Structure 1
Amino acid sequence: MIKSTFILVPGVGKKTEEYLWQNGILIWDDLRDEISLKGIGITRRRYIKTQITAAKEALSKKNASFFARYLPQCEYWRLYKEFQDKTLFLDIETTGISSYYNAITIIGTFDGKNIRIFVKDNNLNEIVEYLKNYEILVTFNGKLFDVPFIKKNFPNIEIPPVHIDLRFLLRSIGISGPLKEVEKKLGIERESDVQGINGREAPVLWGRFVRGDREALRKLVLYNIYDTVNLKELMDFCYSKKCESIGSDILYRMKERRCDFSLSPSKFTLPKVTLHRNDHRLEIRGDGKILVEIEKKKIKRLEIKIDYLIKKIRRRGYKPLVVGIDPSGTKKRPSGICILREENAYLTTVKTDKEIISRTLNAKPQVISIDSPLHLPVSGISRKCEKRLKERGINAYPSLIESMKKLTMRGITLSQIFEEQSYKVIESYPGAAQDILRFPRKKVNLKELREDLTDMGIKLISEKKPITHDELDALTSALVGYFYLAGMYEAIGDREEGYLIIPYVISSPH
């Protein structure tokens, strides 16, 4: 399609391009000096021809940088057929959605023939050199997710000059939604092993692997391979649809001129992914061929144990005793309470403020940590702390949106009551703390959240079985209180609108 493209010439828009097509200028070679076109003088024709000559040279050298400079980004798809051998499909897996706090665990790539897998703390750095082999990068939502993560990990990396984000290309042909939803709409299937996995579950699989579940790694790699390989099928589909959108008459005339826009059918078959142990290494193989070798002992894990926090708290002259409260917006729904004493987390749920206050005061905590906004915004519906979290990739509900108003007012009331009793009260947000500590949130996987908390060395003691999400959020709030007492915290916000306390953990994204 690129050889029929004229909008790469400065000053030539889609209307002029269509005018050229309608007047028989269907491909670059049709643009000859002797052709007379109404409204396009000889000087302008020569200028267009000069630019097209430069485009021909760039194409012969497979120099996508030239086209990236002159083509609108929404038209990058036109390069695909001629640059297929220089196109790389890429997808990443991470420990969470925030590039500020989380790390890349896997980068999967596919060039139409070969799969390459890059794994955290093993061969991940090799992606820097590998990307230099390609001129076009194809992702799904990569402009907002994959590429920012990669650039955060590798600030000096050279991303291929042309980046086609299929999320936006698909939207331009009337197809929207998350990747798995788009695949279903187009009849693209995945094997049963990974059908139930989504982007939120992928970090959970990595967590299972670092705790010793090797099968979780195989599933994660297989999931990533599907994410990556399926991008080619989607790109092929988009390219064909965009070509069809030119119009049947012009497309027919182009084909008469032997402008073949059709793509060769893919002969690639997804490999059977297996995991093998070889001495101290794990091998992920596809149809017997090694895709990646992993030395698990090299993998660094963000790991803080509860006894470490307790020692830090005691050194600073405090008792390791915090009450975490996860209040609901209405007294009809249960509120979670956690009394975190030493390594023991005493969990329960209550409904009334009277019960919350009674249990909290009876515990005589060093700090009370409440999962609720404890101050109002100076103006609007959001506070500085909520905006700051959003900037870091962690979504926080504005304190005064309609669904939060009752919770906010309840939290403020409880805070004032405790402060009148001379207790130190801090505001916490379990979702943010869980993201920072690389735990799954309750809505992602409650079981894994519980396991991550117990892996810290916390003993869960609940009045009710099974332990509820309200109790685990209350425990997370109490844990934030431990980080606060240990001096391992960050206070974001200001005096006017209040501070939100989050764990501060020194770690490298690498």
Structure 2
Amino acid sequence: MRIENSFIPVRGVGETTERRLWEHGVTHWDEFDGSVVGSTLADRIETFIDEGRAHLERGDISVFAEALPASSRWRCYENVSDETCFLDIETTGLDASTNEVTTVSLHRSGETTTFVKGRDLTSDRLERELADAPLLVTFNGQRFDVPFLETCFDIDVDVPHVDLMYPCKKVGLDGGLKAIEKDVGIDRDKPDLSGRDAVRLWHEYEAGDEAALETLVEYNRADTRNMKPLMEIVADRLHETVFEAATAGD
């Protein structure tokens, strides 16, 4: 499902009105002719479509991410899937005011990059890496990863953001990332490692064990890489339940 299938960013259009548009064959901006809704709302939708096309031509989806309900931001993904930045961090604990970020991995355009505390993990580097990302995808990043980075590095992460944990819940996938990966058939090399192990591995590295850092980095990278196939699985399922279910009779 693409942004061009969506009408709920328009003021006055909720899920019920959007579904009515779809059921009447208005499944894309190109098909809107104003006949299904009143004239005032039709004018708003037409303005939204005109402005929306201009935003998409510039590759800017921020206006849609801001206007869409958080539970519907997954709709932005297909438009920018190739450039989407998947992010995951490891830390020394759960409290950003007393703990530190040890590694940050970013997966984008088929490449995974990891930054390590004391080496190349800096505020400037993070800001540069995120500056041109059209969309950020995390798992529980809305409550954990992003606030942690903002606190520890004094940065503002204002990239349009999909926290994959919430779309997962909408399709009945509950639990942590690794449990959900197992449910949908995504494999990883070290499935028995956990966040607690990540803390232990960092302390072992600080004590001189370089192999512990290698294991930690690979664990962090796996978390980040595996979010892409999970995002695609979840987006496909939501497309079926939200969009195809409403247009099945077309």
Bin of the TM-score, shorter chain as denominator length: over 0.9
Q: Which residue number in structure 2 is paired with residue 451 of structure 1?
A: none
1:241 matched residue in structure 2: 237
2:173 is matched with which residue? 175
In the alignment, what sits opposite 2:11?
Answer: 10
2:107 corresponds in structure 1 to 110
The CA distance in 2 between the partners of 1:156 and 1:214, in whole Å, is 29
* Greater fraction strand: 1
Cα distance in 1, alignment partners of residues 111 and 29 from structure 2: 33
CA distance in 2, matches of 1:2, 1:187: 28
Amino acid at match of 1:178: G
CA distance in 2, matches of 1:43, 1:181: 47
Note if 1:77 corresponds to 2:78: no
Shift of 1:127: 1.1
Answer yes or no: is the 8 Å Cα contact 2:89–2:220 preserved in 1: yes
Residues paired across the two proteins, number: 247
Say whether 1:200 aligns with 2:201.
no
Q: Which amino acid aligns with 2:58?
A: K
Aligned equivalents of 1:168, 1:45: Cα separation in 2:
31
Distance 1:133 1:248, change over 3 A: closer
Aligned partners of 1:180, 1:43: CA distance in 2, in Å?
Answer: 48
Structure 2 residue runs of 5 or longer lacking an equivalent are none
Q: Does 1:92 align with 2:89?
A: yes
How big is the shift at 1:249? 5.6
Correspondence for 1:212 among 202, 208, 213: 208
By how many angstroms is 1:251 displaced? 4.4
Does the CA-based 8 Å contact 1:86-1:133 persist in structure 2? no
- Aligned-partner Cα distance in 2 for 1:99–1:41: 50
- How far apart in 1 are the matches of 2:206 and 2:242? 50
CA offset at residue 60 of structure 1? 1.3
Once residues 66 and 183 of structure 2 are traced to their aligned partners in structure 1, the CA distance between those partners, rounded to angstroms, is 34
CA RMSD between the two structures:
1.6
C-alpha distance in structure 2 between counterparts of 1:196 and 1:48, whole Å: 50
- Give the % identical residues: 36
SS in 1 for 2:115: strand
- The amino acid across from 2:151 in the alignment is K
Q: Structure 2 CA distance, aligned partners of 1:172 and 1:250?
A: 17
Q: Indicate conservation of the 8 Å contact 2:103/2:116, yes or no.
A: yes
Mapping for residues 293-304 of structure 1, pairs under 5 Å = none
Q: Write the mapping of 1:140-289 to structure 2, written as runs, cut at 5 A.
A: 140-160=139-159, 162-191=160-189, 194-246=190-242, 248=244, 250-251=246-247
1:41-89 CA distances to partner (integer Å, 9 max, x unpaired)? 2232122111111111111111122112311111110010101133100
1:397-438 Cα shifts (integer Å, max 9, x gaps): xxxxxxxxxxxxxxxxxxxxxxxxxxxxxxxxxxxxxxxxxx
State the match for 1:361 in structure 2: none
Amino acid at match of 2:181: E
Describe how 1:466-477 pairs up with structure 2 within 5 A.
none
Query: Does the 8 Å contact 1:105/1:119 carry over to 2?
Result: yes
CA distance in 2, matches of 1:246, 1:209: 47
What whole-Å deviation, never above 9, does each CA across 1:315-347 have from its counterpart, x for those lacking one? xxxxxxxxxxxxxxxxxxxxxxxxxxxxxxxxx
Larger Rg: 1
CA–CA distance in structure 1, aligned partners of residues 102 and 200 of structure 2? 11
Cα offset, 1:144, TM superposition: 1.4
- Indicate the residue corresponding to 2:35 in structure 1: 36
In 2, the alpha carbon distance for the partners of 1:79 and 1:211 equals 44
Secondary structure in structure 1 of the residue aligned to 2:79: coil
Partner SS, residue 195 of structure 2: coil
Query: Could you tell me which amino acid in structure 2 is paired with residue 8 of structure 1?
Result: P
Q: Does 1:134 align with 2:148?
A: no
Distance, in Å, in 1 between the alignment partners of 2:239 and 2:174 is 19
Query: Match for 1:67 among 64, 78, 90?
Result: 64
Residue identity in the other structure for 1:187: G
Any conservation in 1 of the 2:83–2:109 contact (CA below 8 Å)?
A: no
Asked if structure 2 preserves the Cα contact closer than 8 Å seen for 1:106 and 1:124, the reply is yes
- What does the per-residue CA deviation read over 1:84-109, in whole Å, with 9 as the maximum and x for residues that have no partner? 13310000011112111110010001
Unpaired runs of at least 5, structure 1: 255-510
Alpha-carbon distance in structure 2 between the residues aligned to 1:148 and 1:249:
36
